[in-house]
Structure 1
Amino acid sequence: MSQGLQSKGAESETGDSSATFRVRQVTSVSEVCLMLEWATAEGWHPGVYDAESSYRQDPAGFYLAEVDGVPIGGASLVKYEEHFAFLGYLITKPAFRGKGYARRIIEAILEAPGMSNRNIGLDGMTHLQDTYSRIIGVQFAWKNSRFRGVGTDSFKGVKQNDNPAALVSAKEVDFEHLCVFDTSVFGTPRPTFLKSWISQPGMVTLAAVTTTASSEDDERSKQTRISGYGCIRLCVESYNDVNFSRKIGPIFAESAAVGSQLFEALVSSVPLGIPFYIDIPQPNENAMEIARETGLELVFETARMFTKGSGGVKCSMIYGLTTLELG
């Protein structure tokens, strides 16, 4: 059952001030898909299958705003464990902008059960930082840069340092070990999301692993250690483009050498002439250097903000964010 969080007077698209406004939880993944359609129209290039992965993490964390029962905007406030949530997909349709609906959506979902004591994070447009701080109480943590590249026959420019690790499908490594590594970087466990994320159709997932042994003769003592992992998925370039572009995320790595190795391997999977995108936290200078060396084009910047600090996120190990919408 959907939960109505707020119901007040509103203004319709035609200017009718007697219209009714409310914010409610979505009732199915198809309604999340509607939000992604709006994101596509804004040029955000959402992943083709992101709706399902996002919804699995927290089905109660997605909201639609309606005027007289017609969806005019929405947002997500997705919960991770007991202490963290991430705000994303905040959007209102163009005809309803400038009327305060975005603020009313935020205020409504912040009143949802279980939100009062959580640390809330978001990635927002840099020019709206003061607005986010005033409404939500978040404080600036760092900037992210979105970069765009195009697939080539031979992607060059990344320093490899003789391939420091072996690359295997992330689906082949122990999932619990992958979750431990992911948590060490993301700062919060997210096994439900991660399992769905790496299983998306068309997703290329790679784990960087090293194998160690106590002695050359003792095969049983060999242990495989994860030193990084990365993903690249199908995303929507535009309504009018019949080809899917690609989006990298995440790339988590314990060193610049592993981060570079994963980056090159992932972009080498991009078909010739197809665009790809990656979001990089600016404090990770090694990751920013990869973008510069490979000639990626800066598209825009966002501000990562939190209500209670970064919560253990390790920017130094993030060579590509998972997604701006879920952290």
Structure 2
Amino acid sequence: MSDVIDPAHDFVVRPMKPDEIGLAIQWAEQEGWNPGLHDAACFRIADPNGFFVGTLRDEPIGSISAVRYGQHFGFIGLYIVKPEYRGRGFGYRIWQHAIKYLSNRNIGLDGVVAQQDNYRQSGFQLAHRNIRFQGVAQCMQSAPMTPLAEVPFDQLASYDRQCFPASRDRFLAAWIAQPDSIARAAWHNGRLEGYGVLRKCRTGHKIGPLFANDVSTAEALLNALFAQCAGETVALDVPEPNVTAVALAQRYGMNSVFETARMYTRAQPAIPLARLFGVTTFELG
């Protein structure tokens, strides 16, 4: 076979097969993103058609996710090109495919801060930073929280919709029930006041989402989840504008280790960042 690459024929962007999402998760692990053990299965449920792979002469060399949430919102993640193929235009071809798939929607992403200028060229504007805090889970005494499975799902979905730009019921149902995870709710007198999910990752655990009406509820949920992984490494991705959430993470000895630029192609969704104490996932929003 010739060593001369014909981009028009040798490089193809196509939908991922179900087992190829796991390959993208492996690449994410190699990038140091520390994905969850069961992210691939949960991600696919969000939008089975929204994952794409770039192949060069049938070899997978790049990935992207472009998840449609309803008719008006979408989110881009898992944008990875294998290191040896970077700088040759393959990533941009994959990117264009994802943007086309999400056309006519407000598109969000959590991008590497250094790539903001590139994203701006595609119409994205900075909304705020998300900061990854990481530390060792401290087991503090707190009031017991209700297992999230005991909360009626319609009430959970309604609460989640207040904190996320679109309905995501299929993903949510899978996310809160995934193996190697703990989900807890602040549930009082038939009213949901917050919830959080702890999932096992390649290294340690991540908490996300952590949504709550106020900081005292968020702290109670955080304690309940920390109790399930006391002494182990845990990470929490916090929207920087929620200064109360930042202070909460710092109060528990967590340190900033990474940050992303949350960007959108249209106006920032009207969701209350004061209730977002932890982002669900940088890959899917």
C-alpha contact (below 8 Å) 1:204/1:232 kept by paired residues:
yes
SS of 2:281's equivalent in the other structure is coil
> Equivalent residue for 1:88?
77
Q: 2:181 aligns with which of 191, 203, 210?
A: 203
**Alignment counterpart, residue 113 of structure 2, candidates 122, 126, 147:** 126
Change over 3 Å in CA distance of 1:16–1:85 after alignment to 2: same
In structure 2, what is the Cα distance between the partners aligned to 1:181 and 1:190? 11
* Other-structure match for 1:267: 226
2:154 aligned residue: 176
* Residue pair 1:82, 1:118 contacting (<8 A) in 2 also: yes
TM-score calculated relative to the size of structure 1: 0.83
Of the three residues 19, 32, 57, the one matched with 1:68 is 57
Match of 1:21 in 2: 11
Superposed CA deviations along residues 219-239 of structure 1, whole A, max 9, x for unmatched, are xxxxx10000000001112xx
Deviating beyond 3 angstroms after TM superposition, the runs of 4 or more aligned structure 1 residues are none
Q: Is 2:73–2:165's contact at 8 Å kept on the other side of the alignment?
A: no
Q: Offset at 1:187? A: 2.6
**C-alpha deviation, 1:318, in angstroms:** 0.5
The amino acid that maps onto 1:141 is: A
Unaligned runs of 5+ in 1: 1-11, 212-223, 238-244
Partner residue in 2 for 1:3: none
Task: Work out whether 1:258 is the aligned partner of 2:258.
Answer: no
Q: How many residues align?
A: 283
Larger C-alpha radius of gyration, 1 or 2? 1
Q: What secondary structure does 1:205 align onto?
A: strand
Unpaired segments ≥5 residues, structure 2: none
Per-residue CA distance 1:267-315 (angstroms, 9 max, x = gap):
221143x211110000001100011111212111101011112222221
**Aligned equivalent of 1:247:** 206
RMSD across aligned C-alpha pairs, in angstroms?
1.7
Q: Which amino acid aligns with 1:145?
A: I
2:79 & 2:140 partners in 1: Cα distance?
35
Kept after mapping to 2: 8 A contact 1:185/1:312: no
Deviation, 1:18, is 3.5
* Contact 1:187 1:314 (8 Å CA) reproduced: no
Aligned residue for 2:68? 79
Deviations 1:22-59 (A, max 9, x none): 1100121x110000000011110101101111101100
Q: Quick check: 1:57–1:78 contact (8 Å CA) kept in 2?
A: yes
Instruction: Return 260-269 or 64-73, whichever deviates more.
Output: 260-269
Instruction: Determine whether 1:103 maps to 2:92.
Output: yes
Matching of residue 289 in structure 1 with residue 276 in structure 2? no
| Cα distance in 2, alignment partners of residues 56 and 116 from structure 1 | 20
Measure the CA separation in 2 of the matches of 1:64 and 1:295: 39
